[in-house]
Chain A
């Protein structure tokens, strides 16, 4: 095994400046992941040629693949940097920021669009208030739970959006993550009461029909969320909703 780790990192000083590449070389250590390797560079910010540079900026927090902060392009694939082990990668390792979001600096991007889209599709359950009403929500079967749980683990990391050919900074397609949230909210026993509004939110322009069925999303999701299954189910839900809109609600 090589005794160094070589990384090519795409740098960008500000949102308004041009990107450039730098190569770094750090001593190999078993068990390094991309974040721990970047931590070594941050402590010793010298390029391979020995030039002192600004430490690379990137986002990270939980380091256990549950917070979604450290998404970046690693050898051309959107991944969580914390759970990507260096020894599993071909070198030099190429690190780039996600391309579907505005760069803030180096590997940091602004993913606020993800959260705005969750607002757009009304991804919440309407409750009267966060106080005890002395009863919970209606029962949920273990089978339904198992399906819902898959979707509830979405950590808004943005990998699916990066991989989606229809999702882009300049376009308004809500993307697979928000669609899966609609699927989840619509299946909650009281969330169902407002599924019409959620379905309408994804039935217009830039909604469900923009999905080109490339199926890239489901392949890159670090949590193996069945995004395309959700999109399929929503196709059926929106078709039924269309009929209800034409002939009136029966419920």
Chain B
């Protein structure tokens, strides 16, 4: 009889739970580690929907079009075989969710309803009221609970992943984690580990739409132990986030889609209430700069325009980093019906009513396209992923897999709306199946791994805790504000090399200061300060990874915008025109040099950058993205 194999999944969001489910269904034991009850993971925050081409609206939508939109939207930077298979299998993922009991919104016929989302022409987005992510997560959470009742899954909630344990050959064989109540540091053996630790928005401080636990710390710890990062310079900034001291909250694109207008007072010294500012003294800059799209330009263009008006023209409302998103001119009954979810959030968290007073918004760090590098195996017959290959979603450390937002797989240089719930679910499923194959091929059992490798790592982690607890003068919470300030203003929406170099210097200084924080405490029970201080160190390291990757890429692609290297299409020229064809040639030359995956490896001297070819076998890059 084969020994009973065990898998550890770190993270209980959509990606983590899907992978755990597939590993458990393959007959292996699973242990899920999460910072909190898994039902509280950040996946619940996704509101809009999940993409799958099911073509039930008479629009001749196709899987191929979903593939094209995803690849072009990502400026061709994603490896194409995984994207192809993801889009092909999206309808099957939806059908599975439906069987799990997810309450997708329905048409009059009782069919799954679809809505239109940004960056595409056809209705392709399934949704469950205004809480799609929550409903999807709960669907898988219920199945995991059933697996728990069957004894195949065990949850370790309120545990923080600290590090991997590798055997003599460098193969991952378990983890070290800290109990967030008792603060005990312990090791856990496993035949394979799946990291599904989510996003890293809080590297940008409170200017992020992410949940407060989305620090990226777990992925960064794996990085320091040899896992490679990829494409970390690509971070999506959502243009219309509601401001907050604690975090920012997303005001969906729907507000602009339904007729919302973005403006600032023309006079930077303006201090009147917005409703008292006459029409001719308002600057509707998006409408002026993009006459054909107006307020509904894509996310990245809107974010850059807001950045420009605030930072370069100094026209932020009240001298601060904010602009107005105004729906007060629209019919109140209409917007109440169409924008209920947004109005609800704004009223609840801001205390004012957007029906009567313009909302104050600013671009905010929303989604990391980059993350842990993961492998894939291409099926030569289909051109997509090879089903069940143990290479799929394998990180650069043998035995360690990654899925969900913490990997870099599917979105290239920019993510389409409603593709994140899809990639989280799909990548989780693929990772789980890949791990099952990996375990089938394993010869030696865990008993072959010497005990001291585990206990040594536990001691190392305990020493790190003790070093931090020894104390210093810095306030970790204040340092986090500084980190957010550096990242948002110098590594944010608009980038240039001189500023990025400054940011790297500042981050190196911050990294030093993070080692001597004041954690004065009489209580060793549930020491949140210690946990926070450790996460902060990782966030600063991630900041360095992001800034270094951004510095290395001298071009504009997707969410990475360096105006000094901008290539713009000629005005009034379209495909076929000689001027446009000259532009197309330049664009292709740029791809020759820069259409490559950025790889970041940890070294004591700092992040080491290299580049890797992208698999472009599905849709060769012939057409530049053009939103005119």
Interface residues of A (CB under 8 A from B): 13-14, 29-33, 35-36, 39, 42-43, 52, 54-55, 57, 59-69, 82-83, 85, 87-88, 104-105, 108, 111-112, 115, 118-119, 122-127, 129-137, 139-142, 145, 148-149, 152-153, 155-156, 184-185, 188, 190-191
Contacting pair B475 A140 (CB below 8 A)? no
Q: Within the complex, what minimum Cβ distance (angstroms) separates A42 from chain B?
A: 6
Does B25 sit at the interface, judged by CB under 8 A? yes
Give the residue name and chain of the B residue nearest to A114 (CB): B37
Q: Within the complex, what minimum Cβ distance (angstroms) separates A187 from chain B?
A: 10
List 16 interface pairs A-B (beta carbons < 8 Å), by A numbering: A13-B522, A30-B351, A54-B521, A62-B40, A63-B244, A67-B39, A67-B211, A68-B39, A115-B37, A118-B145, A137-B98, A137-B101, A139-B111, A140-B110, A152-B135, A188-B101
* Partner pick for B145 among A32, A119, A142, A184, CB 8 A cutoff: A119
Contacting pair A119 B148 (CB below 8 A)? yes
* Partner pick for A153 among B131, B181, B212, CB 8 A cutoff: B131
Contacting pair B246 A36 (CB below 8 A)? yes
Contacting pair B245 A31 (CB below 8 A)? yes
Contacting pair A145 B103 (CB below 8 A)? yes
* Partner pick for A152 among B138, B146, B348, CB 8 A cutoff: B138
Contacting pair A35 B246 (CB below 8 A)? yes
- In the complex the two chains form, what is the Cα distance from A66 to B89 in whole Å? 28
Does B381 sit at the interface, judged by CB under 8 A? no
* Partner pick for A83 among B44, B349, B429, CB 8 A cutoff: B349
Does B350 sit at the interface, judged by CB under 8 A? yes
* Partner pick for A141 among B106, B247, B475, CB 8 A cutoff: B106
Which of B116-124, B290-298, B525-533, B555-563 makes up part of the contact surface?
B525-533
Q: Which residues from A are CB-within-8-Å of B245?
A: 29, 31-32, 36, 39
Interface positions, chain B 120-144, Cβ under 8 Å from A, are 128-129, 131, 134-135, 138, 140, 142-143
Contacting pair B246 A148 (CB below 8 A)? no
Check A39/B477 contact, CB under 8 A, given A67-B44, A67-B211: yes
Does B100 sit at the interface, judged by CB under 8 A? yes
Q: Mark B141-158, 1 if CB is under 8 A from A, else 0.
A: 011011011000000010
Does B230 sit at the interface, judged by CB under 8 A? no
Give the residue name and chain of the B residue nearest to A13 (CB): B523
Does B502 sit at the interface, judged by CB under 8 A? no
- In the complex the two chains form, what is the Cα distance from A39 to B110 in whole Å? 46
- In the complex the two chains form, what is the Cα distance from A126 to B528 in whole Å? 38
Q: Within the complex, what minimum Cβ distance (angstroms) separates A25 from chain B?
A: 17
Q: Within the complex, what minimum Cβ distance (angstroms) separates B350 from chain A?
A: 6
Question: Other than the known A105-B181, A119-B148, A152-B102, what 11 A-B pairs have Cβ atoms closer than 8 Å?
Answer: A13-B523, A29-B245, A31-B245, A54-B523, A83-B348, A112-B157, A132-B92, A134-B92, A137-B99, A137-B101, A141-B110
Give the residue name and chain of the A residue nearest to B144 (CB): A124
Contacting pair B145 A133 (CB below 8 A)? no
Give the residue name and chain of the A residue nearest to B22 (CB): A130
Does B540 sit at the interface, judged by CB under 8 A? no
Interface positions, chain B 240-287, Cβ under 8 Å from A, are 244-247, 249
Contacting pair B95 A64 (CB below 8 A)? no
Contacting pair B528 A55 (CB below 8 A)? yes
Q: Which residues from A are CB-within-8-Å of B145?
A: 115, 118-119, 123-124
Closest 7 CB pairs of A and B: A132-B92, A139-B110, A124-B142, A43-B477, A136-B98, A36-B246, A105-B526
- In the complex the two chains form, what is the Cα distance from A74 to B433 in whole Å? 46
Residue among B40, B349, B526 facing the most chain A CB atoms (10 A cut-off): B40
Contacting pair A148 B103 (CB below 8 A)? yes
Does B313 sit at the interface, judged by CB under 8 A? no
Q: Within the complex, what minimum Cβ distance (angstroms) separates A67 from chain B?
A: 4
Does B45 sit at the interface, judged by CB under 8 A? yes
- In the complex the two chains form, what is the Cα distance from A211 to B105 in whole Å? 32
Q: Within the complex, what minimum Cβ distance (angstroms) separates A66 from chain B?
A: 5
Contacting pair A155 B22 (CB below 8 A)? no
Give the residue name and chain of the B residue nearest to A80 (CB): B348
Give the residue name and chain of the B residue nearest to A53 (CB): B522
Check A14/B95 contact, CB under 8 A, given A69-B40, A188-B101: no
Does B520 sit at the interface, judged by CB under 8 A? yes
Q: Which residues from B are CB-within-8-Å of A105?
A: 181, 523, 525-526
Interface positions, chain B 63-121, Cβ under 8 Å from A, are 89, 92-96, 98-112
Q: Within the complex, what minimum Cβ distance (angstroms) separates B213 from chain A?
A: 5
- In the complex the two chains form, what is the Cα distance from A124 to B39 in whole Å? 14
Contacting pair A54 B522 (CB below 8 A)? yes
* Partner pick for A133 among B40, B99, B247, B348, CB 8 A cutoff: B99
Residue among B94, B108, B109, B142 facing the most chain A CB atoms (10 A cut-off): B142
Q: Which residues from A are CB-within-8-Å of B348?
A: 65, 83, 85
Q: Within the complex, what minimum Cβ distance (angstroms) separates A119 from chain B?
A: 5
Q: Which residues from B are CB-within-8-Å of A57?
A: 526, 528
Q: Which residues from A are CB-within-8-Å of B213?
A: 61
Q: Which residues from A are CB-within-8-Å of B140?
A: 130
Q: Which residues from B are CB-within-8-Å of A119?
A: 145, 148-149
Q: Within the complex, what minimum Cβ distance (angstroms) separates A19 from chain B?
A: 14
Contacting pair A31 B21 (CB below 8 A)? no
* Partner pick for A66 among B96, B131, B142, CB 8 A cutoff: B131
Q: Within the complex, what minimum Cβ distance (angstroms) separates A90 from chain B?
A: 16
- In the complex the two chains form, what is the Cα distance from A153 to B103 in whole Å? 10
Contacting pair B246 A131 (CB below 8 A)? no
Contacting pair A104 B42 (CB below 8 A)? no
Q: Which residues from A are CB-within-8-Å of B110?
A: 139-142
Give the residue name and chain of the B residue nearest to A86 (CB): B351
Q: Which residues from A are CB-within-8-Å of B44?
A: 62, 66-67, 155
Q: Within the complex, what minimum Cβ distance (angstroms) separates A14 from chain B?
A: 5
- In the complex the two chains form, what is the Cα distance from A82 to B140 in whole Å? 26
Does B36 sit at the interface, judged by CB under 8 A? yes
Interface positions, chain B 519-560, Cβ under 8 Å from A, are 520-523, 525-526, 528-529
Check A133/B211 contact, CB under 8 A, given A32-B245, A69-B36, A145-B106: no
Contacting pair B520 A52 (CB below 8 A)? yes
Check A145/B112 contact, CB under 8 A, given A31-B245, A55-B529, A123-B145: no
Q: Mark B35-75, 1 if CB is under 8 A from A, else 0.
A: 01101111011000000000000000000000000000000
Contacting pair A155 B246 (CB below 8 A)? no
* Partner pick for B25 among A13, A39, A67, A130, CB 8 A cutoff: A130
Q: Which residues from B are CB-within-8-Å of A184?
A: 101
- In the complex the two chains form, what is the Cα distance from A67 to B44 in whole Å? 6
- In the complex the two chains form, what is the Cα distance from A135 to B111 in whole Å? 12
Contacting pair B106 A140 (CB below 8 A)? yes
Q: Which residues from A are CB-within-8-Å of B134?
A: 66, 153, 155
Q: Which residues from B are CB-within-8-Å of A127?
A: 96, 99-100, 143
- In the complex the two chains form, what is the Cα distance from A134 to B345 in whole Å? 37
* Partner pick for A130 among B129, B249, B429, B528, CB 8 A cutoff: B429
Check A61/B106 contact, CB under 8 A, given A83-B349, A124-B145, A135-B95: no
Does B478 sit at the interface, judged by CB under 8 A? yes
Q: Within the complex, what minimum Cβ distance (angstroms) separates A114 from chain B?
A: 8
Does B234 sit at the interface, judged by CB under 8 A? no
Contacting pair A132 B95 (CB below 8 A)? yes
- In the complex the two chains form, what is the Cα distance from A135 to B91 in whole Å? 10
Q: Which residues from A are CB-within-8-Å of B107?
A: 142
- In the complex the two chains form, what is the Cα distance from A123 to B22 in whole Å? 20
- In the complex the two chains form, what is the Cα distance from A190 to B101 in whole Å? 8
Q: Within the complex, what minimum Cβ distance (angstroms) separates A39 from chain B?
A: 6
Does B18 sit at the interface, judged by CB under 8 A? yes
Give the residue name and chain of the B residue nearest to A55 (CB): B529
Give the residue name and chain of the B residue nearest to A148 (CB): B103
Contacting pair A61 B212 (CB below 8 A)? yes
Give the residue name and chain of the A residue nearest to B148 (CB): A119
Q: Which residues from A are CB-within-8-Å of B98?
A: 136-137
Contacting pair A64 B345 (CB below 8 A)? yes
Q: Within the complex, what minimum Cβ distance (angstroms) separates B234 from chain A?
A: 24
- In the complex the two chains form, what is the Cα distance from A152 to B106 in whole Å? 15
